[in-house]
Structure formats: structure tokens, C-alpha cells
Structure 1
Amino acid sequence: MEAGPEKVRSLERDTKSRLDSHPGSTVRTAGLFTDDLILEILSRLPARSVHRFKCVSVPWRDLIADPANRNKLPQTLAGFLYTIISNNACRHHFAGVSGDGAAPFDPSLPYLQPNKDESITQANACNGLLLYSGYKKNNVDPWTEGDFHFMVCNPATGRWVELPPQPQPQEPANRYSRTAGVTIYSSRTGAWSHRDSVIPEKVDLFFSSKCVFVAGTMYLEGINNESVLVGVDMQGKVWKTIYMPCGRRFGTIGASQGCLHYAIASVDDNNKVLVSEIELWCLKDRDSKQLVLKHTANIDKLMSMTGQKHRVVSIHPDCDTIFLVSCGDGTLVSYDMRHQKVGRILNLEKENAQRFLPYVPLLSESLSVADADE
């Protein structure tokens, strides 16, 4: 059983207090724990806390860094999957932001598309699992029965499963779709079910709306005269809408530190991203319908360093760091909102990169989708 957020914070505070009050006994205290006990404690903490505890002692650092223990400990952000569309074909790439930056797996995932007539598209990523949609390349209508399907994959282990055919939509897919309900797949029953929407507002969703799953609720971007988020729980029973703080301006959503976060850049009169100021908002209470402003940062320094305009594409899952992509030369930049610092800059060597999905390795041999509703 994993420790709850309050227990985790209490453990971190207690450990830090003990080490700060007795700095000379840090090594002796650390030596009283067996490796198995240390790993058991660390396995219940967030990845950010685990990396902090590397500073306790050299043995703890080596224990945490040991590859043999990786499948027992929570992992941090390894990088981003992103897509380049060229000649009506999707090419999948990976941008590493930790370690040596190398891709931990072949981002094209060839075992998901053994037939040349089939193609796959990255749909979403959550807790180390990737969701792909598969379809025939020459199919004019991708919703044709038998030609469109979903696959869930764990690229760290190479395990994957194809979901049964989804019930056909009543209307053809288009750029916008009215929120009428949600279709849910249960791995326990192996079947799809439909739940009608109970929100009073008429919200239009973009066909490629970004989706984030956090604290038992799925959030999607939509519009109802203003930018809104639609939230629905795993059973499709509890619905809510959250009006965004920036009117019709669009930002990006992400799951970070167990909460929903939203990052938005400043725009000019023509709705073009200028990114001189960034705001980071957070939904601290899962039952609330109001985001709280967390950080504001001016990144003129970043713009002067690169000479490019940028757009926000993602949020770090473990800290208040956002990621931006230049609008010109295709560079990926991290920016620490809390400390107002420019971090790693990666040259993607590709323009028009789209749909950045954060990837945190899941090293367990079990494919989680087989054990819980998704």
C-alpha cells in the first residue's frame, strides 16, 4: 500500500529534521537501516523525494542509483514523446531530459504495427503506459468498424494489449465535438460502457484535445465562449467544468505533484504566442472548480538567449518546471518557475513538433491496465 500525501510529507519533514538537528550522526544513523528496509521506505515516496535522499550518505546514493533496484523505486521524467507529421505520415520521436538523453526504447514501436498497411498515432501517456490508436493508412474514414482500434503499451517492458473495438460514434469525427458523454473501457469486464454527460454547460471539445488523468479524474480542454476544462471521474458519474483564468487564451494542462496544473503564456492581439510572461496555476483541491495562481515568471532572458519565440508544451510531473518549444528552430527548453532559472536546452533538429507526451518509465513486469480500470 502506498503512503498518502500527508504521510509522505510527514516522513520527509521528520527525516529532514533529524538529519538537520544531528548533522554529525547522519552517516551513523543511515547505517542502522538494512538495504531492504531502506528500499521499502523509499518505494513509498514520490520520485522527487527519492532523489533528495541520495544526499543522505554515499551508501544511500549508490543503493538508489543501482540499476537492480530501479524496478522497486518510483521513476522520474525520462523525456517526451512527440510527433512530426510529414507527407501525411506520423513519425514518432523521443527527447530525453534525464541521464544521457538517449531514447530508452525505439519510439516507433515497430511491434505495434507489424503490417505496412497499418499506422499508429500517439494518443496519450499516463504512469508509464502509452495509449496508441491504430488504423489503416489508406482508410478515408478512420472510424470504420474494424479499421480503428486502441492499444495500451508499456515500452519499458515491451508488453502491450489491444483493446476490443470501441462502440461506433453516432456522428463522424470532426474538429469539434459537443460533450454528450464518455465511453469507458474496463479491464475487469473487458467491455466498453457509455455514460451521458450531466454538466449543464454546452462545451465543445477539440478532436485532438489534450487529456490528463490525475487523482481519479480525467480532464479535457474545451471551449464555451471561454476556455474551460471538463472533468469526469472513472465511473463517468461525477462531472464538473472549470473556467480557465485567462478567458479564451489557451495554455497546456498536466499532472504534477499529484495535482492538476495549467501553464499559460502571454499573447498579443493576433493571438500569437509571444511568451515573455508565463503563469503556472494549480487545482490544489480536487473538489474545487477554481485554479489557484502558483507562480508567475518573466522569461525575456530565455528569449534573448535563443532569439526565438516559444510555446508551452508540458509540465514536469515532479516539480514546478515547465517545458517550452521554440517556434523557429525546434529547441526544447526547461524553465524552473519556482527559482526562475533556464534549464536544459535540447536541439530537436525538427520543426513543427507536435503533441508532447511526458514519459516516466514503468519498470514493473505487470501491465497495469490489466489490473485496473483505464
Structure 2
Amino acid sequence: MESHPGATADAAGLLTDDLILEIFARLPASSVHRFKCVSVLWRDLIADPTNRKKLPQELAGFIYFTTDDSGHHHHFASVSGGAPPFDPCLPYLQPDKYKDMTQVDACNGLLLYRHYNSKDDSHLVVCNPATGRCVELPPQPKPQPPELAKRYSCTTGLVFDPAVSSHFHVLHFDHAYLETYVTGVNIYSSRTGAWIHRNSGMTKKEVTLFFGSRCVFVGGVLYVMGNLNYIDDYVLLGVDMEGKAWKTITVPYGRGFGTIGSSQGCLHYAIAFPEDNKQISRIELWCLQDCDSKELVLKHTSRYSELMSMTGKKHSVVGIHPDCDTIFLLSRGCGDTLVAYDMRHKKVGCIFNLEKNSTKRFLAYVPLFSESLADAYGQ
């Protein structure tokens, strides 16, 4: 059955602004951004500040910090080259109370920080810098019986999906004392305002997490990189937000150490692969296309020499774009820089000049303008 040429336009005209916004809210940020070119109506709807709470936002940039004798200094690298969308020092966090804060994780517009008080006790704070709201988490319960009090942990992840709920979770991995493998996870829920503990249940798979590894939440699972059974095989450890379902995924090449990220709704893994342990020969981007799968699939590969010919510097992978097959690489030497590299088209994009002695932890930040923390503690 052939449709009349004007049928599509007539059907689109029946949609109200509210219905159009509801459709846009369910699309990737990159698609919404392109739709500004469709018509003046769509451009104005998307650009209207009152609609920002409903629509997905694009990557604004990366949060990172530097360290010197006076403590931590927070910075922001904007992908647009303009001013940061918020003060990276977060002045509303009461500097007298929250001193020497470190960036821990970011997830869908929320940021997770850790700070220490005068007793060297650490406290976790979740913030939405776009709205200026923050929540300090209560201390984690001390384990019982007392002999378990020597458990320690160094890996914490933030879990938040505004399309599902305004509530967030924080997962804090437990390690066995005098051992390094994961024994379980402490889980904080903003809905209950309390922590619970879950054992890992992995009796035959002991996973050691790498110090400083970042966590990535995608498809209802929090992922972090680790080492399996005290051997050189690297794996991704995944756990759901209730701490009940655990799984491991072997990464390509076993000993290759790459970067994970959430992109286009899937878990991605980017790696600069050393072919002969002397010179990095290529860069690869892998994807977990099915959340239930345990196998990463190769999407793109590039010759490392081609990237160096464009930039003249050596790089390490530190981030993945949330909406496209672009990775971000850190170069050091004559001025630290962050380079955007399009794996699909083999092109170098933005190059950001960074502060000297920058940390290797770069957290991708996508603004969230809704009052996502309004329901914390039942408010």
C-alpha cells in the first residue's frame, strides 16, 4: 500500500509538543542533538531551558584532579572548549566540612566523592552539580563478628539510572583480610538510606580488583576490572545492584589492560595492545553487545602509528564517549593533553590541554538537570 506524499507530514502534525518531548526523552542524546536540524519547532523544543529536565544531555567533558602539597585540586576539561558547566571545586559542599575530597565515580549526571575527617575516617558524598544538591552517606556498618573488622576495600562504584528511578545505589567491594580477592559487597540504597552486605558467592573464582580501577554501570550491572585466581588473566567482574548476581568476563588477550566505559547503552572496552611488549601496534574497541553474554565483540581497530602521525605523541586510553565510537587518550610529556579519537572514521577530534601532573582518573560527565536527589532519605 503506497502512502500519500503528505501523509507523513500530516501524521507528524498531529503530535503535540508534549508527545514529541516524550519521544525525544527515550532517544540517545546524539540523536536528539541531530534533530535540531529537522525543523524550527524541533530546534526550539530541544533548546528550551525548561525542557532540559526531560531530555538526555550530551557529554559535557571530563572531571579530573591534580595533587600537590596543599591537597587535591579539581578541574574540568570541556569538550566544547567553553566554560565548565559547574564549578569543579563544588563550593556548595562546605569547604570547612569536606576537606581534601577525591573523585571516585560518575554515573548519569551524579558524582561520587570520598572525603576524610580528622580521625581518618572516610565518608562518601553523592552530588548532582547541575542542581547543587548532595547527600552524605551514613558510615558503613562494622562487620560482625569482630575478627572480620579487618576487612578492607579500595573499590567503590555509583549506580544510577534516571530512566528507571530517581534513587541511586553505591556499591563498596569487600576484600578478605591479608588476601586481595573480593569476598562481597556493601550496598547503599538512597531509597532506604541504609547499607546492606552481600557475599560474592564465587567459591571457585577469586577475583582481585586493581587499585584505582573505575566502575562502570550499564544494563543493570556494575563492572570493574580485576585479576582472576592470582594469575595473569584479566577479567571484568560484574554484579547487579542487589549484589545477588555475579559474573566474570574474560578480556581480550588476557594480560591486556584497557579501559571500560558505557557507550550507546552497551559496555565497551578500549585497549592499546602491545604486540611485542616493546611498541604499541594498534588500538582496539570492543563491545558487550548482549548484557547476558560473557563475550566481548571487536568493533573497530586502528594502527597506533596512524594516531601518532596525527598527534606526534604517545598515548594511553583513559575514556570512552557515551554516545559514539570515540575514545579519549592521555598523552604526557611537553604538556599533558587529552585527545578525542574517532575509531570509526580514524580521525582525531578535540585536543584538550590539561593541568600538569594530572591524575589518570578521568570521569565522563553528562549533565542531569532533574532533581534526582530529591527522594533521598524518603524526602
Work out whether 1:206 is the aligned partner of 2:210: yes
Q: For residues 209-254 of structure 1, what are the alpha-carbon distances to aligned partners after superposition, in whole Å with 9 as ceiling and x for unaligned?
A: 2111111111111112211111111111111111111221211000
Q: How does 1:87-126 map to 2 (within 5 A)?
A: 87=69, 89-98=71-80, 100-115=81-96, 118-126=99-107
Amino acid at match of 1:110: P
Q: For residues 269-302 of structure 1, what are the alpha-carbon distances to aligned partners after superposition, in whole Å with 9 as ceiling and x for unaligned?
A: 557xx55521101111111111111111124333
Partner SS, residue 324 of structure 1: strand
How far did residue 25 of structure 1 move?
A: 8.5
What is the match of residue 314 of structure 1?
319
Work out whether 1:181 is the aligned partner of 2:184: yes
Partner SS, residue 35 of structure 2: helix
CA distance in structure 2 between the aligned counterparts of 1:371 and 1:291, rounded to whole angstroms = 38
Identity %: 64
What is the match of residue 193 of structure 2?
190
Amino acid at match of 1:313: V
Stretches of structure 1 that go unaligned for 5 or more consecutive residues are 1-17
Q: For residues 16-35 of structure 1, what are the alpha-carbon distances to aligned partners after superposition, in whole Å with 9 as ceiling and x for unaligned?
A: xx9xx96x988776555433
Partner SS, residue 319 of structure 2: strand
Amino acid at match of 1:211: C
How far did residue 165 of structure 1 move?
A: 0.4
Work out whether 1:164 is the aligned partner of 2:138: yes
How far did residue 351 of structure 1 move?
A: 3.5
- Is the Cα–Cα contact under 8 Å of residues 67 and 357 in structure 2 kept in the other structure? no
What is the match of residue 250 of structure 1?
257
Work out whether 1:283 is the aligned partner of 2:265: no
Q: Given the superposition, is the C-alpha separation of residues 102 and 177 from structure 1 closer, same or farther in structure 2, using an over 3 Å criterion? A: farther
What is the match of residue 75 of structure 1?
57
Q: Given the superposition, is the C-alpha separation of residues 174 and 283 from structure 1 closer, same or farther in structure 2, using an over 3 Å criterion? A: closer
Amino acid at match of 2:366: V
Partner SS, residue 354 of structure 1: coil
Q: How does 1:136-147 map to 2 (within 5 A)?
A: 136=117, 142=120, 147=121
TM norm structure 1: 0.84
Cα RMSD, aligned residues only: 2.6
The match for 2:126 among 141, 152, 157 is: 152
Amino acid at match of 2:151: E
CA distance in structure 1 between the aligned counterparts of 2:375 and 2:114, rounded to whole angstroms = 16
How far did residue 259 of structure 1 move?
A: 1.0
More helix by share: 1
Q: Given the superposition, is the C-alpha separation of residues 338 and 306 from structure 1 closer, same or farther in structure 2, using an over 3 Å criterion? A: closer
Q: Given the superposition, is the C-alpha separation of residues 313 and 213 from structure 1 closer, same or farther in structure 2, using an over 3 Å criterion? A: same
Q: For residues 310-339 of structure 1, what are the alpha-carbon distances to aligned partners after superposition, in whole Å with 9 as ceiling and x for unaligned?
A: 111110111111111112221111111112
Amino acid at match of 2:244: K
How far did residue 196 of structure 1 move?
A: 0.9
Stretches of structure 2 that go unaligned for 5 or more consecutive residues are 143-148, 156-178
CA distance in structure 2 between the aligned counterparts of 1:298 and 1:316, rounded to whole angstroms = 20
TM norm structure 2: 0.83
Q: How does 1:1-374 map to 2 (within 5 A)?
A: 31-87=13-69, 89-98=71-80, 100-115=81-96, 118-136=99-117, 142=120, 147-168=121-142, 170-172=150-152, 177-199=180-202, 200-224=204-228, 225=231, 226-267=233-274, 275-328=280-333, 329-367=335-373, 370=376
What is the match of residue 8 of structure 1?
none
CA distance in structure 2 between the aligned counterparts of 1:166 and 1:33, rounded to whole angstroms = 50
CA distance in structure 1 between the aligned counterparts of 2:154 and 2:50, rounded to whole angstroms = 47
Moved more, 123-132 or 179-188: 179-188
- Is the Cα–Cα contact under 8 Å of residues 132 and 151 in structure 1 kept in the other structure? yes
Amino acid at match of 1:132: Y
- Is the Cα–Cα contact under 8 Å of residues 235 and 250 in structure 2 kept in the other structure? yes
Q: Given the superposition, is the C-alpha separation of residues 40 and 355 from structure 1 closer, same or farther in structure 2, using an over 3 Å criterion? A: same
CA distance in structure 1 between the aligned counterparts of 2:287 and 2:256, rounded to whole angstroms = 17
Q: Given the superposition, is the C-alpha separation of residues 228 and 353 from structure 1 closer, same or farther in structure 2, using an over 3 Å criterion? A: same
- Is the Cα–Cα contact under 8 Å of residues 118 and 135 in structure 1 kept in the other structure? yes
Aligned residue pairs: how many?
A: 342
How far did residue 82 of structure 1 move?
A: 0.7
- Is the Cα–Cα contact under 8 Å of residues 276 and 300 in structure 1 kept in the other structure? yes
